[in-house]
Amino acid sequence: MVPMAEQREHQVAFGIDIGGSGIKGAPVDLTTGEFTADRQRVRTPDRSTPEAVGEILAELVGGFDLADDAPIGVAFPAPLDHGVVRFIANLHKSWKGVDLPALVREATGHDAVAVNDADAAGVGEQRYGAAKGRDGVVLLATLGTGIGSALLVDGALVPNTELGHLEIDGHDAESRAAESARDREDLSWEKWAKRLQRYFETVEMLLSPDLIVVGGGISKQHEKFLPLLDLRAEIIPATLRNRAGIVGAASLAARPH
Ligand code: BGC
């Protein structure tokens, strides 16, 4: 007989979200999806190499009182082939080919899984947030430095969809429709919404989602742009907002499927 304590699944896992501007981490209660301690954030270094980020991860995780066997889930802004970085748009190019779970294990001493940041957010929203209990084809799009996408079919994730890099009207879609483009070009909500309309109608034509969930920090201001969109699918704001990556990654570390 396995003693009760060993039969129990992890109650808490640590989630990390590595982004273009910040690296954030918090321990997550896996029953509720809530943080069990305040989230910490460190600015992403200008030279965001694997070495520099590895040092930050060691410091970040070391600042929390974590059980030795607490798993770590990392959300990362690139497609990951079983943890290995395939290509990278918004961090240092030397990440290509890096085995991220191995780097995290080395830096922190904890077992780790690593997933694409939008995939992590999609799983977070599906397990604890706006898409909870929703079957069918669910697409989560995160609007931030880039555009991330997560595709869930009856709750199962189709990883690494990379729909932010669709070529639309001759442009890499995220270079025109990400929140960073709105900021860079100082676009009004109406002008930005036109670009989002073009983006989402293309995605809708390709995938016929039943539900689109819009995430990223800007989803806080969803009233300013979601009502301007006219799509067939229901489109709603994420509820975990920019916590979704941390929560989803932590949840995947404990329960991969
Ligand atoms: C990357 C994706 C990522 C998205 C959001 C894109 O540039 O290619 O992997 O999910 O940005 O960070």
Each residue's pLDDT tens digit, 52-111: 999 999 999 999 999 999 999 999 999 999 999 999 988 999 999 999 999 999 999 999
Tokens linked to 2: 């396995």
Q: Edge-to-edge strand order for the sheet containing 22-29? A: 40-43, 22-29, 12-18, 72-76, 112-116
E-assigned strand segments in the chain: 12-18, 22-29, 40-43, 72-76, 80-81, 84-85, 112-116, 137-143, 147-153, 156-158, 167-168, 171-172, 211-215, 234-237
Q: For a pLDDT cut of 70, what percent of the chain falls above it?
A: 96
Exposed / middle / buried, residue 154 (Cβ in 10 Å: 0-12, 13-18, 19+) = exposed
Q: Considering the entire predicted model, what is its pTM?
A: 0.94
Instruction: Check residue 59 and give its pLDDT.
Output: 96
In whole angstroms, give the CA distance from residue 183 to residue 175.
Answer: 11
Q: 72 alpha carbon to ligand 1 midpoint, in Å?
A: 20
In whole angstroms, give the CA distance from residue 78 to residue 141.
Answer: 14
Residue nearest to atom 10 of ligand 1 (CA): 148
In whole angstroms, give the CA distance from residue 54 to residue 169.
Answer: 38
Residue 4 has pLDDT above 50, yes or no: no
In whole angstroms, give the CA distance from residue 91 to residue 5.
Answer: 41
* Residue 228: Cβ within 10 Å count: 13
pLDDT in tens, 125-154: 999 999 999 999 999 999 998 999 999 999
DSSP annotation of 153 reads: E
pLDDT range class, residue 1, cuts 50, 70, 90: very low
Residue 7 has pLDDT above 60, yes or no: no
In whole angstroms, give the CA distance from residue 162 to residue 208.
Answer: 16
Ligand 1, residues at Cβ distance < 6 Å:
77-79, 89-90, 116-118, 142, 144, 146, 148, 162, 164-165, 174
Residue nearest to atom 2 of ligand 1 (CA): 78
Residue 247 has pLDDT above 50, yes or no: yes
Probe target for ligand 1 pocket from 86, 174, 176, with the most ligand atoms within 8 Å of CB: 174
Residue nearest to atom 12 of ligand 1 (CA): 77
Count how many residues are written for the chain.
257
Tokens linked to 215: 């995430």
